[in-house]
C-alpha cells in the first residue's frame, strides 16, 4: 500500500511542478498601465492567491497582481470586474466571490499588466 502511494506521488510531482509555473517558457515585456479588452482576451484565470492571467488569442498572456494583495483571491473564486469602456487599467477595482457564497468580497485593485509572449519557433 505504501509503495503504491509512493509511486502515485512520484508520478504526480512532475504534473504539480508543471502547474506551479504557468509562465514557464514565456518572455516578459514592459508592464503596461492598461489592458485593451478588445484584443480578444479570454476570461481571467486566477492562477494563485496573487496572480491573475488574461490570455489573449495568439501568443500573448497578460499577468497582473493585486495592489496590496487580495485575501479572497484563489483559483476557484470568480472575479467580478466592472471595466469602464474597453480598457482595464491599473488601480481599477474588482471583487471576488467564492463558490457557495452569495456576498462578494471587499474591493481589490489591479496592479500593472505585464505581457508575457511565447517565443516564435
Place of cell 479572497: 72
List CB contacts of 72: < 8 A, sequence separation 6 or more: 96, 98, 105, 106, 108
Q: What is the percent of the chain with per-residue pLDDT over 70, rounded to a whole number?
A: 82
Question: For residue 40, what are the CA distances in angstroms to 28, 66, 86, 119?
Answer: 20, 22, 11, 20
How many Å apart are CA 26 and CA 11, to the nearest integer? 25
Global confidence as pTM: 0.78
Q: In terms of pLDDT, which residue wins out, 38 or 15?
A: 38
pLDDT of residue 20: 65
Q: pLDDT (tens digit, 9 = 90+) per residue, 75-112?
A: 999 999 988 888 999 999 999 999 999 999 999 999 99
Amino acid at each position: 500500500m505504501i509503495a503504491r502511494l509512493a509511486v502515485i506521488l512520484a508520478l504526480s510531482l512532475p504534473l504539480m511542478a508543471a502547474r506551479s509555473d504557468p509562465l514557464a517558457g514565456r518572455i516578459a515585456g514592459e508592464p503596461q498601465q492598461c489592458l485593451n479588452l478588445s484584443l480578444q482576451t479570454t476570461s481571467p484565470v486566477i492562477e494563485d492567491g496573487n496572480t491573475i492571467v488574461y490570455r489573449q488569442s495568439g501568443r500573448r498572456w497578460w499577468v497582473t497582481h493585486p495592489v496590496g494583495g487580495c485575501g479572497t483571491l484563489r483559483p476557484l473564486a470568480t472575479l467580478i470586474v466592472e471595466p469602464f469602456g474597453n480598457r482595464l487599467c491599473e488601480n481599477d477595482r474588482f471583487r471576488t466571490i467564492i463558490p457557495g457564497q452569495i456576498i462578494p468580497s471587499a474591493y481589490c485593485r489591479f496592479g500593472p499588466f505585464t505581457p508575457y509572449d511565447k517565443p516564435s519557433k
